[in-house]
Every structure is written in structure tokens, then in C-alpha cells.
Structure 1
Amino acid sequence: MGILFGLLTAICFGLSDFAVTQATRHIGVLQAMLAIQIGGVLIVGAVLVVTGQVPIQSPGTWALMAGIALLNFVGIALLYRSFTFGMLSLVSPIASSFAVVTAVLALGAGERPPVLTLLGTFLLIVGVVVVSRAKAPGGSPSLAGIPEALGAAFSFGVYFWSLKQVTPLLGEVWPVWVTRLVMLIGTLLMLSLRRSFKLEWTWKILLLLLIASMLESIGYLSFNLGIRETYTTITTALASLYSAVTVLLAWLFLRERLSRVQAVGIAVVLAGVLLVSL
């Protein structure tokens, strides 16, 4: 079941990222984040109302979860920014390399991943380097969005690894709701720092963001269920396959075209993710 939950996470995250990309390029990162987090708080809150009680834990446990959620907020902000300025088929595979960070942390914490996982980690690093140094088909540098994608990968890697520490205490749903709430508060604070802000939501954009919010929430819940069933490294690696879904959608609907070197780099990244997940 852990493998199925990991794959479901990948599908949900891949579809969600594609939807978010369409929104951020029209209304910007913060407006998209605001709508998605409001939707997430309400959706996951409804799940909590149906499923159960508040776990009795110390304030320190809840504070730890809030700190972990803050790290995810940074990752999401960087990811959405990379979607706005970079090619989706480039930045998504790079962001998906958070499996490397999780694998390194798990190794340091005592998990002993198999040789294929280590080989996959090496391929992920090589693929990211190749993609980062490649040029787009027109000959222009392809660095737009890549630094943000790398930052997102690091933030997500630490976040998903840390969830393993709190889910046994808080259950599978509460960490997702706290994550959504912290991200909503963070987005509101960032918006308050802007001197001028005007909502530019249309019904089409709102529908797109609602779909993205539902998919993201299902993805987070599925991930937490997955790490309950199997190793964090396995679930994270499977979840990071979401970039394959995103790249395919970008190729089909956005007509994004890659240079030969870029295509090789992305293939190496995806091969690395696949090996890590075996």
C-alpha cells in the first residue's frame, strides 16, 4: 500500500503543478498561493471534522509541526516562482530531486537504502547539473527558474523527511492542516508587506486553483499515509515522480520544446528518481 500511496502522491502533485503554472503566469505567485491555501484549509478542515479528534500532544510537538510547515511554505513559494519564470519541463524535474535530500537525511538518521537508491541519487545530481548548464533550443541560457527550483527541492526534502517524526504523534491529517494553515498565514503576511495589492481572480482562475488545491491536499494526505506503511525514502522517491506527469503535460499542452542536452538531462533525472523508488 505504501507504494500505491506514493504513486498517488506523484499523480496529484504533477497535475496540481500543471494547474498552478497556468494560474501563476496570469495572477502571480502570491495570489495563487492565497487561493490555494484558503481552499486547502477548508478542504482538509472538512476531512478533520469527519474523521476525528484533536490528538493530545505537548505544545512543543505542535510548534515543531508549525516549524516544519514554515519550511514547506518557503519551498512552495520558490516552486511557484520557478513555474512563473522558468520552463515547466525544466524546473519541475529539478524540484523533484528533493528525493536526494530526503535520502541523505534518512541515511544520516540510520536508514540504509539499497545500492540502487544510492545510484539513483547520483544520477539525480548529475541530471540536475546537466539541465542547469544546458541551453534552450533558441540558444539562450536556461537558468531562469532553476535556482528557485533547487531551493524548493532542498526545502521539500527536509519537510517530507521531517513529517516522519511528527505523523506518528499527530496522525496523517493534522500535519496537512497545520501545513495549510501556516502557509495561509505566511502568504497573508507577505501580501500585507506589499504597498499595493489587487485581487485579479477570475472564475476560470479560481476554478483552476480550487482543482490545484484539492489535488495538492490529496497528495499530502496520501504521502502521510504512505510513510506510515513503508520507508520515508521509498514514499518520497515515488512522490518525486510527479515531475514525469508535469513534463508530459507541458509537452502536450504548453508545447514546450527542449534541446537535446536538456532532454538528456531530464531523462537522467527521471531515471535517477525511478532507481531511488525501486
Structure 2
Amino acid sequence: MSEVTDFTAWTSADAASVIAVPRPEDDKYSRGVLGIRTGSDRYPGAAVLGVEAALRTGVGMVRYVGPARPSDLVLQRRPEAVTAPGRVQAWLIGSGMDADHREDAPLIAALDEGVPSVLDGGALDLVRHATSPVVLTPHFRELARLLDTDPGEVALAPASWARRASDELGATVLLKGTTTYVAGPGIALSVTGAPAWLATAGAGDALGGVLGALLATRSTDAAADEQLPARLAATAALIHGHAAARASAGGPLTILDLCAQLPSVVADLVRQ
């Protein structure tokens, strides 16, 4: 497949225009509640990183619903997280899950609630169960599996495959990589600038948390504007990359280092 070239570079000014800034009259519910179904007994850290990133990006509440071990670790790290079920404005599902060892029923039930969703990792194949706007966040190998094609082909033409996946699956697709490509209905965006040091375990878990938070804070708007999920996805990638650059300062970073930089990155953007 030949590479497409119609992707528009997403800028800091673009990102600033879609970030929801709290108003004096807002409370924790009107600021957005993100539901998170991620992690597993085998990969509990994915839950911790997603919750951490979401809370530091800006959201009124995070409801984490998952196995006992990840739940305990989430509460140890972020005691403000809520582990009781309840109403949410968006879902983040799949990070740190194995598609062959998951319980499908609660995930499908979440996707049937009619709120925007982020599908990552072990839940990408559930896209056809979504009843509202959904954003997929695969890397090239995951996208190749989802589309039953050669990973090498996706690696050679990532923009084209992101566009094709969006069209075939009826979803917004954020294809992670050195350049991140975001394709949605009638929209194609690209994000660059993240340091190479970001190629480390847990980076995608944090990106999911950032995007989930942005979707939860703009949930009603995302349901009404079919292109907004793509703009929010590109904004998540930009915030994630800028936070990584600050955490790295030219050297190695950990994902918790990245998460610690998220509030200052968001603050700098909204000042615009």
C-alpha cells in the first residue's frame, strides 16, 4: 500500500483549543467521570499508569473497575480513585489485558452504555460492540493483527493503514509510532516530537489515560461532533509527547516521570 500524505500536523495551539478548562460552577461530576477497565493479575501496572495519567491530565473523577490486585495497587498509588461502579462519561478499556484471558461480558456492557470509549491493548477487537464514538490506540503490530495483515506492511505505510483501519472499522484510529497518525471521519492528523526514549513499557497505558480523561471532559461534545474524538486523540498524543520530553531532558525516563509532567504541560497549553 502506498503512503498517503494528506495528514495535517496537529499543533500546541490546536490542542489548546479542545482542552476543557474547569469553570467556577463545575463540580467533580460536571468535570467528567472516566471509567477504567484495564489491567489484570498478570499486568496490574497498566491499571496504575492509566489511572495516574488520567488524574494528572484533568478529570473530575476516575472509577477504576478491575481485578482485586490491580484495584489494591491503584488505591495505594491514587487513593482518590473510586473503585465502586457508577455513572461515567467515558471509558478506557483494554490496557494490560490479554484478549485470550479476559471476561468479555462486562467490557461489552461498558461499550453498550452509549458514552465515548478508548480501546487499547487486549480490547481492540471489541470495536464492533461499541455503540458510541470509539478511539482505538494500537501500535503497528496490534493494528496488523486487528486487520489480519502483515505487520511489515503497516510499518512501511502507517498513515495509509491508519486511514484504512478507520474506514473499515468505523472508528477513530490513533496509530502510535515515531509519528503518531490519527484518522477519523473526514479528518487525518499527525503528531511528532516525542523523544525516542519514550519507546518503553507502559507508555501506551499512560497515553490511554490521557486520552480517556480528555474524552470524559468533552463527552457530550464528542458524541455530537464526529471529528472531535480525532482532535482529542491528537491532543492526547501531543500532551503525552511533551510530557515525555520534559521527563526525559535528553535521557531515559520512566512512565511515572512522564505522568508527573502532565499537569504542567496542560497548564502551559491552556495559557494559550
Question: TM-score w.r.t. structure 2 length?
Answer: 0.30
Q: Over alpha carbons, which structure has the higher Rg? A: 1
- Structure with higher helix content: 1
- Structure with higher strand content: 2
